[in-house]
Amino acid sequence: MRIKKLLVLLLVVVMVGVVFVGCAPKTEEPVEETIKIGLVTDVGGRGDRSFNDSALRGLETWAGKVQYVKGGGYEPISDAEFNASIPGDLKDKNIQPLGVSAMVLESKDKKDYIPNIATLVEQEECDLVIGVGFMLAGAIGESAEKYPDTKFMLIDAAAVDADGKMIDPPNVVGYLFNEHECGFLVGAVAAYATGTGKVGYIGGMEIPPVLRYEAGYLAGLKTIDPSIVVIGQYTGSFTEPALGKSAAESQISQGCDVLFHAAGATGNGMFQSICERGAPYWGIGVDVDMGLDENLCPPRTLTSSLKHVDYATYLAIKSVVEGTFQSGLVTMTLKDGGVGYAPDHVADALTQDQIDKVEHLREMIIDGIFEVPTDPDDVDSWTPPTGF
C-alpha cells in the first residue's frame, strides 16, 4: 500500500513538471531587420543606359544581389551573374552583396522628385534615400531638412535650399565626379582616331557635370592636336534619342567622324546614327561602358568615358549598412577609380605608341603633374601638358 502511494505521488510530481514546462515562455529567435534603401531616378529613368541605370546597378545588382523584373518586383541573381556585373577596373574593390532591400521610384517630371522622396521616407520608411542627378539637388536639400532622421545620398551635386544656395545638412552625403578627367582621356583618344580632323560633342543640358565632360574633352583634343575642329551642340534634353540622332546627323554632315555624347538617353540616338552609317564613324559613350551594350552600337564604339555612379551608390549604401555614414561631399577621381575610360575599340583605332601616350597622360593626371580645366570657356587659355 505504501509503495502504491509513493507511485501516485511520483506521478503527480511528473505531471506538475510537464505543466510548468508547457507554460514556460518560449525563446523567440531575434528577427533581423533588413535595411531598406530607396532611390529616386532623374527624368531619364530606368533604361537610360547611362547614369540612372548605373545607380540602379549599384543598388539592385551589387547591394541587393537582385535584378528588376519588368512590370515590378525583383528576382535573385546567381553568383556568376553578380561577378559578371562588376567591370574590370573595379574587380579589386571587394564589392560584395549587402543584403539590403531596394525600393525605386521613377521620376517622369521634375515635379515628381519631392513626392517620390516623401513616399520613400513616410510610407516605405527607407533608411537611406538616393537622389540620382544634379537636378535633384533642391529636392534632396528640402527633404533632408524636413526629415532629419533619414539619411540621404545625392549624386552629381551638393544639396541646395529653395534659393539654390548650397547647404550641408548632417544627414546628406553628396558624391561628385571629376568628369573632366575622364573626358580629357576620351578627347585624347578621339584626337588620335579622327581621320578628318573634325569631331563632335553632343551635350544634354548645360549643367556642371556635362560642362565638365565638355571641358575635359576639349582639353584632351587640344593636348594631342590643337588644330582639330570641334562642332558641339546642346540638345536641352536627356530623354529624347531623336534629338541626339539629329545632332549626330548634323555633325557628320559637317565632316565629323568621331562623336562624343554626354546626353543620357538622348545620346542613344547618336549611336543609332553611327550604327546606320558604320565605318569610318566612331561613337564615344558616357558614364558607363556603352561598348558592352548590344542595344547601342558595340562595333563602332571607340571608347566610353566612365563615371562610376554604380560604385559611389554602392559605397554610400555600404556606409549605412556598416554604420559609418558621414555627411558632406565626396569627389570620385581617376586616382580612386571613380572615373576612367573603357578600352572598347581603342586598340583597333590607335597605334600602341598612341595608347601608351594616353596612358602616360592618365598617370600624369593621377600624379598631379597637370590639372584638367573644368569649364569649357577656360580651355582656350589653358596650357596643355608636354613631355608625354
Q: Is it the case that residue 14 has pLDDT exceeding 80?
A: no
Residue 24 has a pLDDT of 43
CATH number belonging to the domain at 179-306+351-378, selected among 3.40.50.2300, 6.10.140.120, 3.10.129.10, 3.40.50.720? 3.40.50.2300
pLDDT tens for 23-71 read: 444 445 544 578 999 999 998 889 888 889 999 999 999 999 999 998 8
pTM score, whole prediction: 0.86
Question: Distance between CA 236 and CA 323 in Å, rounded?
Answer: 40
Residue 32 has a pLDDT of 55
pLDDT tens for 230-263 read: 999 999 999 999 999 999 999 999 999 999 999 9
Spatial CB neighbours of 28, under 8 Å, sequence gap ≥ 6: none
Spatial CB neighbours of 10, under 8 Å, sequence gap ≥ 6: none
Spatial CB neighbours of 71, under 8 Å, sequence gap ≥ 6: none
- Contact between 178 and 212 under an 8 Å Cβ cutoff? The reply is yes
pLDDT-above-70 percentage for the chain: 92
- Contact between 229 and 197 under an 8 Å Cβ cutoff? The reply is yes
In this structure, of 44-48, 81-85, 291-295, 334-338, the range with the lowest mean pLDDT score is 44-48
Name which of 353, 351, 384, 349 is nearest 370 in CA terms.
384
Q: Is it the case that residue 20 has pLDDT exceeding 80?
A: no
Residue 48 has a pLDDT of 85
Residue matched to cell numbers 558595340: 298
Residue 365 has a pLDDT of 98
- Please name every residue paired with 262 in a beta bridge, in sequence order, or none if there are none: 203
Q: Provide the residue type at 339 as one letter.
A: V
The structural domains of the chain, with segments of one domain joined by +, span: 36-177, 179-306+351-378
Domains 36-177 and 179-306+351-378 in one fold: yes
Q: Which CATH class is domain 36-177?
A: alpha beta
**What is the rounded average pLDDT of the residues 292-313?**
96
Q: Is it the case that residue 22 has pLDDT exceeding 70?
A: no
Q: Which long-range contacts (CB under 8 A, 24 or more apart) does 322-326 make?
A: 325/128, 325/151, 325/173, 326/173
pLDDT tens for 267-302 read: 999 999 999 999 999 999 999 999 999 999 999 999
Residue 26 has a pLDDT of 44
Instruction: Give the mean pLDDT of the chain.
Output: 92
**What is the rounded average pLDDT of the residues 102-118?**
96
Query: How sure is the predictor about 98, in pLDDT bands with cuts at 50, 70 and 90?
Result: very high
Residue 72 has a pLDDT of 83
Residue 49 has a pLDDT of 83
